[in-house]
Structure 1
Amino acid sequence: IGQFFNSVTPFASGGQPAQLYLLTRRGIDIGLASSVLLIKFIIYQAMIVATFIFFLIVGFPLLGHTTFEIKYLILIGFVINLGVIVGLVIVAKSERVAAGIVHVLLKPILLFVKKERREGIRENADSKIASFHEESVRFSGNTRLIWECVFYTTVQLLFYLSIPYFVLL
């Protein structure tokens, strides 16, 4: 479902929300579901960066004949992906940071909600953030599961990235 909605939405932005919706419809707590999706996304981004490092080492010298600006764009893309990973790890590890982000995002939404319901929404959000943080900590402590995710994500990327390679050939 994630790949499908990434393919049919602008900027590939619909995959994770669709997965989150499906998981919550199947009775999984939104805190647990969002934690799993965030950890999976962190692993995915980390494997993209690892793959990127490999290709930088192997292929960057081959770019010597290309324009100077392309090299900078490649390095800027690498730095952006690395920054995304660091930011996501901070959100996953720090309950305070995650709560701050959610509360900032809730402010404009709460303007359209009756005053009586606002506190209930904030408490519910705090409960889901606590659940999210508990699952993030529990998941990050399970190294076997993380390495399984790394393996399957690497295989996924290998297939995904080999398609343009073979089309190019």
Structure 2
Amino acid sequence: MKKNHALDWKKVFNISLLCLSFGMIIYFCVKDNNLAILIQSFSSLNFFWLIPAVLLIAGVWALEALLYHLIVNSVYPGQYSWKEAFRVTMVGQYFSAVTPFGVAGQPMQLVALSRQGVSSGVAVSVVVRKFLIYQTTLSLYSLGVILLKSSFFESQIHGFLPLALVGFLAQAASVLLLFLFSVSRTFTTKLIQFFFWLLSKLRLVKRPEEKSKRVHAQLESYLNNNKSMNHNWKLSLQLYGLTFLELTVLFSVPFFLYKAYHNPGAPYFDMVSAQAFVTMIAAYTPLPGAAGTSEGSFLVLFNLFFQGETVKQAMLLWRFITYYSTIVVGMFFARLGKKGPELARPEEASGLGQAPEGVSEAPAKKGLVP
């Protein structure tokens, strides 16, 4: 009976994801005749520029998967494929897209990693390390854009800068919280307890207390290894460099749409900066996909570049490419699959370091570098 109940719950969960996905897509299509506006604009688009714009978002997903591939393989060399990393990427992309503040993205990636055979302690470390790298790079990227381009946008749009600064501070605060997770045992312990409590309430984890204890058993190893994270500079440069490239690719989508609508000139850096500001402003919106704020800030900022009414058409196309495509593609990866066999951690793995006393894991010599 318990087995049947578990199977029923998995089916209900997967069907719910499917219904949610289709519901959000339908909402986008019917709201303000968005689909009709997009279809009407296709006849005037330059597909030489439009196709690369669509491919850019696939490039973002591929780079994200490469980051997970590198981090996990630093713990389990040669055992973790890019295909598995791509699934974890799309799980995170999907649940970030459909939940307020993207709150379910990282927890569901942890679940996905665990079902792929990554141990709980390593999975937590990988997800936190990846998110810390992303948020740190995004904050530095945003700071650079503010220093270089804020005067231009402020001269064009009065009252723009305070909104961007609030978003930047929200990003910087998340970096601080992640840093505390990495160095503070008390903070980390309480966060792990909350995390497993949340997963148990969502009925995504069985025996949460038992799993929480297993993670606590590896917590000492995780925290100790953060002290040695500066030893692997090669991995560090790779991760930060790839994340910077990922953000630049994502922020380049509006420029390709700009050219697809036959607009003159090539203000590439200005448009990348404008997209970075859109991301900053939308950072503190508590709705799935930062709904409303993303669209509104895009219209205000990119109205400086697009001619006439094409800015609304571009906004809808940008929104579909960068947000709704994630839901369409991600729903095929977000289903709860079968749990795979545990990955074997080799004695000389360049991963998260030695297990604490009482944990039966072979020691590793090098730590992950954020």
Q: Could you say what secondary structure the match of 1:67 adopts?
A: coil
Q: Residues 75 and 2 of structure 1: is their aligned pair in 2 closer, same or farther, counting only changes over 3 Å? A: farther
Q: Tell me the residue number matched to 1:97.
A: 187
1:2–1:15: 8 Å Cα contact kept in structure 2? no
Residue identity matched to 1:98:
T
Q: CA deviation at 1:148?
A: 1.0
Q: Tell me the residue number matched to 2:98.
A: 9
Matches within 5 A, 1:55-134: 55-62=145-152, 63-68=154-159, 70-104=160-194, 120=210, 123-134=213-224
1:3–1:15: 8 Å Cα contact kept in structure 2? no
User: How far apart, in 2, do the equivalents of 1:162 and 1:110 lie?
Assistant: 39
Q: Tell me the residue number matched to 2:115.
A: 25
Aligned length: 163
1:47–1:154: 8 Å Cα contact kept in structure 2? yes
Q: CA deviation at 1:53?
A: 1.5
Q: Tell me the residue number matched to 1:142.
A: 232
Tell me, yes or no, if structure 1 residue 151 matches structure 2 residue 237. Answer: no
2:89–2:109: 8 Å Cα contact kept in structure 1? no
User: How far apart, in 1, do the equivalents of 2:168 and 2:238 lie?
Assistant: 24
Give 1 or 2 for the bigger CA radius of gyration.
Answer: 2
Q: CA deviation at 1:29?
A: 0.9
Q: Tell me the residue number matched to 1:35.
A: 125
Q: CA offsets, 1:83-106, max 9 Å, x none?
A: 110110111122221012233556
Residue identity matched to 2:90:
F
Q: CA offsets, 1:54-89, max 9 Å, x none?
A: 211221011223122x21110011111111101101
> Structure 1 stretch 14-23 or stretch 131-140: which is displaced more?
131-140
Superposition RMSD in Å: 3.0
> Structure 1 stretch 148-157 or stretch 12-21: which is displaced more?
12-21
Q: CA offsets, 1:118-139, max 9 Å, x none?
A: 9756633422433443454454
Q: Residues 105 and 162 of structure 1: is their aligned pair in 2 closer, same or farther, counting only changes over 3 Å? A: closer
1:110–1:118: 8 Å Cα contact kept in structure 2? yes
Percent identity of equivalent pairs? 20
User: How far apart, in 2, do the equivalents of 1:59 and 1:110 lie?
Assistant: 45
TM-score by length of 2: 0.39
TM-score by length of 1: 0.78
User: How far apart, in 2, do the equivalents of 1:118 and 1:146 lie?
Assistant: 33
2:88–2:112: 8 Å Cα contact kept in structure 1? no
Q: Give unpaired runs (5+ residues) of structure 1.
A: 112-116
User: How far apart, in 2, do the equivalents of 1:101 and 1:30 lie?
Assistant: 15
2:182–2:223: 8 Å Cα contact kept in structure 1? yes
Q: Could you say what secondary structure the match of 2:252 adopts?
A: helix
> Structure 1 stretch 139-148 or stretch 2-11: which is displaced more?
2-11
Q: CA deviation at 1:10?
A: 2.7
1:20–1:33: 8 Å Cα contact kept in structure 2? yes
Q: CA deviation at 1:51?
A: 1.2
1:36–1:136: 8 Å Cα contact kept in structure 2? no
Q: Residues 162 and 124 of structure 1: is their aligned pair in 2 closer, same or farther, counting only changes over 3 Å? A: same
Q: Tell me the residue number matched to 1:53.
A: 143
2:121–2:214: 8 Å Cα contact kept in structure 1? no
Q: Tell me the residue number matched to 1:114.
A: none
Bigger fraction of residues in helix = 1
Q: Residues 164 and 131 of structure 1: is their aligned pair in 2 closer, same or farther, counting only changes over 3 Å? A: farther
